[in-house]
Amino acid sequence: MHLEEEAKWGRTRAPQTYARRAGRPAAPPPAPTPGPGARGCSTRSARPSARAGTAPRTEETYVAWIRRFVRFHAPRHPRELGKAGVTAFLNDLAVRGRVAATTRNQALSALLFLYRNVLDIDLPWLDQLVTAKRPETLPVVISKQEVRRLLNHLDGTPRLVAEMLYGCGLRLLECLQLRLKDVDLDRLELRVRRGKGAKDRVTMIPERLRPALVAQIEKVRQQHRLDAEAGAGWVELPAAFDRKSPHAGRDLQWQYLFPATRRYWHEETHQVRRHHLHESAVQRAMREAVLRAGLPHRVTCHTLRHSVATHLLEAGYDIRTIQELLGHKDVSTTMIYTHVLNRGTLGVVSPLDTL
């Protein structure tokens, strides 16, 4: 569902989202109920060219922030508000809401989209809005022994996902959105399609994961065969590829490596589809494993990605190579892991250790 399908700011996607995750057909959306300040403020006016390339989750996030902005200034319409109105909303988020700098910048991006791409207003003061400065924090990294303890408290699909996060340096969604065609077990290569920043990259597959991946691919093959026999077997295709190749969504190569346990009805295409495993299932298993392992850190799925970068640096691998494997746009992002190496700051040995 795209922004133009959100007829008014008051419409919510929650019922459709939960119905899809539960594997049953989504009920028709409720009638639009715009707030006092939202009348006439329709997302249908957003220019198609401006929406091109916008991720669905970004669209959902923008809609949520714009609704909050409209309600904050109700009953005044956003067209009537100037720089002071936008600044007041952002300041309220920082002072009363006590949100992080990244959250405030996210809200600002949504408002810029509202004025420039929905209301088609390009005012000079839009460029004068200053983004909040993000605090410089160091990533949480766990040792190899702690990684081993954590993996020992995981099993099944969550364990294989966690092993790929650590062994391949993947982000969680990058891992869950993998298709069978992205896995090359002969070359032990993994192709990440449209990762962060819409960039593709190639990373390694650990040799020890080959048997588990072979078993997982066979499991998906059998599940897809049963789905196809039941009239299902479809998956979502990227961009407009479904128009270029209408039947590709039912091919085995396009099936997700980690499919969801339930199917859902796609209203627009009248297809019974299977999405990839939802990230919350892995995150929940990770939280439980961290508690059982007794790790004293705040460990998340992304912590494994931080840890593999640090452990590769400790092993002496070139930082440019690690940058390519992790898909960092700038090497300065990779350089942050040099500050959490197990060698002290800048590799300096404390004089106390020499006594």
Q: Which of 73, 77, 193, 302 is catalytic?
A: 302
Q: Which of 11, 68, 181, 196 is catalytic?
A: 196
Helix ranges, 53-180 (H): 56-72, 83-95, 101-113, 144-152, 156-168, 172-176
The model's pTM: 0.70
Domain boundaries, given as residue ranges, for the chain: 3-128, 144-339
Question: Where on the phi/psi map is residue 249: left (φ > 0), alpha (ψ -120 to 50), or beta?
Answer: alpha
In terms of Cα–Cα distance, which of 41, 34, 51, 48 is closest to 113?
A: 51
β-strands 201-204, 183-184: how paired? unpaired
* 215 contacts: CB under 8 Å, gap ≥ 6: none
Q: Does the annotation mark 329 as catalytic?
A: no
Q: Which of 62, 115, 264, 337 is catalytic?
A: 337
In terms of Cα–Cα distance, which of 211, 212, 207 is closest to 159?
A: 212
Q: Which of 8, 305, 306, 311 is catalytic?
A: 305
Choosing among 1.10.150.130, 1.10.3720.10, 1.10.443.10, 3.40.640.10, the CATH entry for 3-128 is 1.10.150.130
Q: Does the annotation mark 274 as catalytic?
A: no
In terms of Cα–Cα distance, which of 282, 288, 284, 279 is closest to 153?
A: 288
Q: Does the annotation mark 297 as catalytic?
A: no
Q: Which of 171, 263, 274, 276 is catalytic?
A: 171
Q: Which fold has domain 144-339?
A: hpI Integrase; Chain A (1.10.443)
Q: Does the annotation mark 302 as catalytic?
A: yes
* Local confidence pLDDT in tens for the 355 residues of the chain: 444 333 333 333 343 443 444 444 444 444 334 444 444 454 444 444 445 556 778 888 999 999 999 999 988 888 888 778 888 898 888 888 888 888 888 998 898 888 888 888 876 776 666 666 666 677 888 999 999 999 999 999 999 999 999 999 999 999 999 999 999 999 999 999 887 777 889 999 999 999 999 999 999 999 999 999 999 999 999 877 888 888 999 999 999 999 999 999 999 899 999 999 999 999 999 999 999 999 998 999 999 999 998 888 888 888 888 888 888 887 877 777 776 665 544 556 666 666 5
